Chain A
Amino acid sequence: AQSVTQLGSHVSVSEGALVLLRCNYSSSVPPYLFWYVQYPNQGLQLLLKYTTGATLVKGINGFEAEFKKSETSFHLTKPSAHMSDAAEYFCAVSGSEGNTDKLIFGTGTRLQVFP
């Protein structure tokens, strides 16, 4: 069965520091991977997605993620954190076992940014 593991339920960084949010997946077929962001009292917004091709994917708000098949990872990074990046981030993999329209989500990582 497919699954997603997000290491660290809380991450804290200083403004201007590197942001690194970790995501590992398990999939028996080539995965399609997504990162979403959720600001307080809002729904989820798509940050970026990996389908096929280039393994470094650029998203909105300066975020990017790199697909590493050998490590089954899809970590999210941003070179310099901004206060407005404080939110919860979810990694997801799209289903393969019978339904490719479903998403399997990780449990989320809450990012705090300190001034």
Chain B
Amino acid sequence: DVKVTQSSRYLVKRTGEKVFLECVQDMDHENMFWYRQDPGLGLRLIYFSYDVKMKEKGDIPEGYSVSREKKERFSLILESASTNQTSMYLCASSLDRGHQPQHFGDGTRLSIL
């Protein structure tokens, strides 16, 4: 089974801090994704990566950046955290063959105070 591991289940940070969310997958998937999930809004794509050092903006990239130095690891960075970034963050991965299902981690619930 595919395993997608997010480094923290719960995280509390202060406004203005630089925040790192880490995600690791163990199935050699080419694609990795970061979403945020908010009640009533479903999942919104922040960034995705289709190869090492390659990334594309999703629907809501403002205030975020990403890093993918190794194939198995995809990091989401909040450059200067703000209270409106309090949310559930989900990482996912998939094969690079088109129309593949994505496999999700358990999420990181991030609170910005």
Residue A43 is within 8 A (CB to CB) of chain B in the complex: yes
Q: Which B-chain residue is minimally distant from A39 (CB atoms)?
A: B106
Distance, CA A36 to CA B4, complexed state (A): 16
A43 contacts B107, CB within 8 Å? Answer: yes
Residue of B90, B94, B104 with most chain A CB atoms under a 10 A cut-off: B104
B103 proximity list for chain A (CB < 8 A): 46
Q: Contact mask A6-47 → B, CB, 8 Å, 1/0? A: 000100000000000000000000001010100001111110
Interface size class of B (residues with CB under 8 A): 20 to 34
Q: Give the A interface residue count (CB, 8 A).
A: 23
With contacts A94-B99, A101-B94 taken as known, whether A43 is within 8 angstroms of B104 at the C-beta atoms is yes
A90 proximity list for chain B (CB < 8 A): 42-43
Chain B proximity of A67: nearest CB distance (Å): 14
B90 contacts A9, CB within 8 Å? Answer: no
